[in-house]
Structure 1
Amino acid sequence: MDLLEDAPGSNAHEFTVSELSGAVKRSLEDQFGRVRVRGEIGRVSRPSSGHLYFDLKDDRSVLTAVTWKGQAAKLAQRPEEGMEVIATGRITTFPGQSKYQLIVDQIEPAGLGALMAMLEKRRQALAAEGLFDEGRKRPLPALPRVIGVVTSPSGAVIRDILHRLRDRFPTRVLIWPVAVQGEGCAPQVAAAIRGFNDLAVGGPIPRPDLLIVARGGGSLEDLWGFNEEAVVRAAAESRIPLISAVGHETDTTLIDFASDRRAPTPTAAAEMAVPVLADLAARLAESQARLTRCATVHVERPRQRLRDLARALGRPAALTEGARQRLDLWAGRLDPALQGLIRARRHQLAVRPMPVALLRRFMDGKGHTLHRLEHRLDAAATRRLERRRDRMTALQERLDASLARVMATTRRAITVQDQKLADLSRRLDLAVQRAVRSRNDALQRVDRMRQSLGHEETLKRGFVIVRGPEDSVITSIEDARHHARLELQFANDQKLPVRPEGAPPRQSRKPRQPEQKSLF
């Protein structure tokens, strides 16, 4: 089709703007159905619609690229400005602005160097925010009761971790299964870390005391999910101490910088998480022995000091022997001295009697003293009685409270036992009813089987039973010919006497002659 302008007056076809735009669009799409374009990402725009607009450029040209909302969420690599990539898509036009553009559905880094450059740029940006600071890292718990593991449930990593934990210190492990490679790796790992942190303390699912994010070795592309910003931020925000065990010892990802501890391998992460039970028991036994030795020394040392001081003091009997001897001497002098004093007082009283007024004052003084002591004795007795009464009242209150608690506990126990008894009785009644129904059903089945297999049902279908003498059952023609009379039994116990052909004639019975008795 020739689109050039012809000379005036020619009969060339006239295109409308829309027709011409459509023709250009079809030509581009037919010529470049699907292409791969290598270039550096320039301007990146993410409007609220969810679509992704960016530029692909080199040193001479710029190509506008678009990724629609549905496909943008599936991109393995999010485009960032300055990143060198290989974009795969189809060329089309935007008729509204007479522009052509690349509809991108797949983006991949242009070589390992581009990935490393982007990784370093992202590491520096996150480090500038303080996510990798050593001051924010927390120590690991010494004995975690529950360990949360974020990894693939089907790989060898989880088996290595469980085996190592079982050998060192068996503990409870919660596994959050995630994809450890591919597009779903980063969002699933970030959601798993945040999910463990959102578990309530004391809830139905125990909240882990330690987290382990683990994956086996692989290439940089395989481990790229653990370099994503969402995973790094989730690890940095984790309130639970976190160990990163991604890849082998030579592999380094950004989650290693944000975690509280980095393990070279998943097995090493299990070793960091728990101590060796045997070593812990040995250290505990050693500490117990040291404590026992320290206690023994702490008691034995003062005892030995006391024995040393006792030897320095000498015998206690030697210290009191002199005093005991002086006491015996003075005790022997006491009786004569008392008797002499009594005789002297009697002589003084006989020579100079005591005045009555003095004696009365003495007696009055002693009487006042006696009354005062009597009042004090009464007050002391009253106070002691009140104290005893208060004590008895307090004991009575405590006894009443204890009795009330015992009675309440007993009532509650009786109520619980009554409830249990009622439940058991109800269950017993239900069990008996079920057993009776089951037995009735079995009996009815047996009765139906009896009826279906019995001869009555067979007779109702047109069969008969041939019976001979003495109600015996005849089963063959030979047996029937030996009997002169047979009986056919029909349904409903109806009977019909018959005589078989060829049967022996029936013997007639002779009348019985009366016996003649002699009168003599």
Structure 2
Amino acid sequence: MARTPSDSDNAGLVARTRQGDNAAPLSISEISSLLKRTVEDRFGHVRLRGELSGVKRAASGHLYCCLKDDKAVLDGVMWRGNTNRLPFVPEDGLEVIATGKLTTYAGRSKYQIVIDSLELAGEGALLALLEKTRARLAAEGLFAPERKQALPFLPRTIGVVTSPTGSVIRDILHRLADRFPSHVVVWPVLVQGQGAAEQVAAAIRGFDALGPGGPVARPDVVIVARGGGSIEDLWSFNEEIVVRAIADCSIPTISAVGHETDTTLADFAADRRAPTPTAAAEMAVPVRRDLALALADFANRKARAVYRPVELGHERLEARAQRLPRPEELLQPQAQRLDEATERLRRGLLDRAGQGRERLANWGPRLHPGMLRRGHAEAQRRLASARLVPSLVERPLRDAGERLAALARIADQLHPEKPLERGYAIVRSASGEALTRKARAAKEATLSLQFADGTLEVAPAGSAPRSAGGKARSATPKEPASAPRQDDLFG
């Protein structure tokens, strides 16, 4: 059987141009360029939905990732300029919608998408990102209850981080004016859109950096506030930079973002969460009227507490006074006893007088001159029989005289001036006090020495008084000028 000719029969060791073939062989670079132009022209603008995988940011700032679904994977790259405008931080597992153009990468024979913008694919993906961020920050302890600070009871200055043009700041100021007018410092920021998170975080850190006594008062409490909106509108308060700024703030912080049903990560990091900005103002300050009423009530209670013991004392005193008997009741038994004693005394005097009259009547007949003379004679007889010997009186007098003489001799021997006759002297101070110690005598300016025959004025050694000429005065006693001079008895 004859063999059918094929292309392999024409194969040779050296490539040859076949008859009728006018296509020259292309280089790898040429075919890569052709593919690149074809892909870019055909897919110059595409929107792709997929799950992020292998997300990494290079040192240059470019973002590299993969977009995948359950059947295919597509590489993606996002240049630094577009990366800086991302409203969220790309993470693995997020479902996103990428907008850009397809191109090829000749170095690896791959095609990829150059991403111009990246968005989350619906609220489900946004909520998934929110939950992942919340779990990660909670694991770091940023939402721990022990990090929470107590709000001051009555702040002097309140810092507010919000938009200066919205209704939020007006609601807060109006509520503060109604409850307790306070000094408010507003740090204006964007609360939505590109750069809002950075401004809010910078405002919180700026309040925290203020020192006491500076030109701008340091707030005692900070309110981070924004009105209601969708989850996209409130996303700036879910950013990690805002959450960390609130958690690191040393000033107690109140988060008042959105309405009651809105919840952001800033609410978890703040010390207190308020359902609305108006509620945040109510949390920050008490009601001045209530405080005034409470103070008045405390003053009344204090007054009642002070006067209550006095009132109770009055009540007890009145109760006990009512139980006491009346003075006439107390005196009635004594008055009765006095009347009885008076009556007994009267009767006793009458009885005594009667008895005396009876005795006098009985003794009357016995009182006659003979009885008196007989008594007088008996008394004279007893006097005559008594022996009055002088020695009975002289002996006690002699014994008493001997005892007195002995006492006089002892007194004479114990007299303080008796030793002066034996050469002793008594040292006296200028006031006449007798001195018995050398140290006491040395302190005196002059001393008086009493001898048996007179007194001598002297000065202690080292303290002798000097005369006007500088010489020490003599210790020779000087006769008083007033003493009269005795005349010479011998002419």
On the 8 A contact 2:412/2:418 being kept in 1, the answer is no
- Asked if 1:8 is matched to 2:18, the reply is yes
Give the Cα separation in 1 of the matches to 2:229 and 2:157.
Answer: 29
Say what the alpha-carbon RMSD is for the aligned residues. Answer: 3.8
Q: Deviations over 1:110-143 (max 9, x none)?
A: 1111112221222122112111111111110011
Q: Which amino acid aligns with 1:136?
A: R
Q: Which residue of 2 aligns with 1:225?
A: 236
Q: Which residue of 2 aligns with 1:387?
A: none
- Asked if 1:358 is matched to 2:414, the reply is yes
TM-score, normalized by length of structure 1? 0.58
For residue 19 of structure 1, report the CA deviation from its aligned partner: 2.6
Listed as ranges, the matches of 1:98-497 within 5 Å are 98-295=109-306, 354=408, 355-360=411-416, 370-371=433-434
Moved more, 287-296 or 178-187: 287-296
Aligned partner of 2:91 among 80, 84, 99: 80
Q: Which residue of 2 aligns with 1:418?
A: none
- Relative to structure 1, the CA distance from residue 178 to residue 11 in structure 2 (aligned partners, 3 Å threshold; closer, same or farther) is same
Aligned partner of 2:43 among 15, 21, 32: 32
Q: Deviations over 1:151-181 (max 9, x none)?
A: 1111000110011111111111111111111
- Asked if 1:91 is matched to 2:102, the reply is yes
Give the Cα separation in 1 of the matches to 2:290 and 2:150.
Answer: 21
Give the Cα separation in 1 of the matches to 2:149 and 2:167.
Answer: 29
- Relative to structure 1, the CA distance from residue 357 to residue 86 in structure 2 (aligned partners, 3 Å threshold; closer, same or farther) is same
For residue 288 of structure 1, report the CA deviation from its aligned partner: 3.0
- Asked if 1:62 is matched to 2:80, the reply is no
Give the Cα separation in 2 of the matches to 1:227 and 1:66.
Answer: 26
Q: Which amino acid aligns with 2:136?
A: A
For residue 183 of structure 1, report the CA deviation from its aligned partner: 2.1
Give the Cα separation in 2 of the matches to 1:220 and 1:195.
Answer: 26
On the 8 A contact 2:427/2:435 being kept in 1, the answer is no
For residue 300 of structure 1, report the CA deviation from its aligned partner: 9.0
On the 8 A contact 2:228/2:257 being kept in 1, the answer is yes
On the 8 A contact 1:145/1:171 being kept in 2, the answer is yes
Give the Cα separation in 2 of the matches to 1:371 and 1:197.
Answer: 86
Q: Secondary structure at the match of 1:29?
A: helix
Give the Cα separation in 1 of the matches to 2:118 and 2:308.
Answer: 75
Q: Deviations over 1:215-272 (max 9, x none)?
A: 1111111111111111111111111110000000011111111110000000000000
For residue 299 of structure 1, report the CA deviation from its aligned partner: 8.6
Aligned partner of 1:21 among 28, 32, 45: 32
The aligned length equals 337
Q: Secondary structure at the match of 1:360?
A: coil
Q: Deviations over 1:444-498 (max 9, x none)?
A: xxxxxxxxxxxxxxxxxxxxxxxxxxxxxxxxxxxxxxxxxxxxxxxxxxxxxxx
- Relative to structure 1, the CA distance from residue 358 to residue 301 in structure 2 (aligned partners, 3 Å threshold; closer, same or farther) is farther
Q: Deviations over 1:390-439 (max 9, x none)?
A: xxxxxxxxxxxxxxxxxxxxxxxxxxxxxxxxxxxxxxxxxxxxxxxxxx
Q: Which amino acid aligns with 1:8?
A: R
Q: Which residue of 1 aligns with 2:55?
A: 44
User: Where does structure 1 lack aligned partners over 5 or more consecutive residues?
Assistant: 313-346, 380-520
Q: Deviations over 1:62-110 (max 9, x none)?
A: 1111111111010123211000011111112223222221111211111
- Relative to structure 1, the CA distance from residue 45 to residue 300 in structure 2 (aligned partners, 3 Å threshold; closer, same or farther) is same
For residue 53 of structure 1, report the CA deviation from its aligned partner: 0.6
On the 8 A contact 1:232/1:254 being kept in 2, the answer is yes
Q: Which residue of 1 aligns with 2:479?
A: none
Q: Larger C-alpha radius of gyration, 1 or 2?
A: 2
Give the Cα separation in 2 of the matches to 1:114 and 1:44.
Answer: 16
TM-score, normalized by length of structure 2? 0.62
User: Identity across aligned pairs (percent)?
Assistant: 56
Q: Deviations over 1:339-379 (max 9, x none)?
A: xxxxxxxx99x965743333427999997994479999x99
Q: Which amino acid aligns with 1:234?
A: A
Higher helix proportion, which one?
Answer: 1
Q: Secondary structure at the match of 1:86?
A: strand
Q: Secondary structure at the match of 2:416?
A: helix
Give the Cα separation in 2 of the matches to 1:6 and 1:192.
Answer: 76
Give the Cα separation in 1 of the matches to 2:265 and 2:404.
Answer: 122
- Relative to structure 1, the CA distance from residue 6 to residue 151 in structure 2 (aligned partners, 3 Å threshold; closer, same or farther) is farther
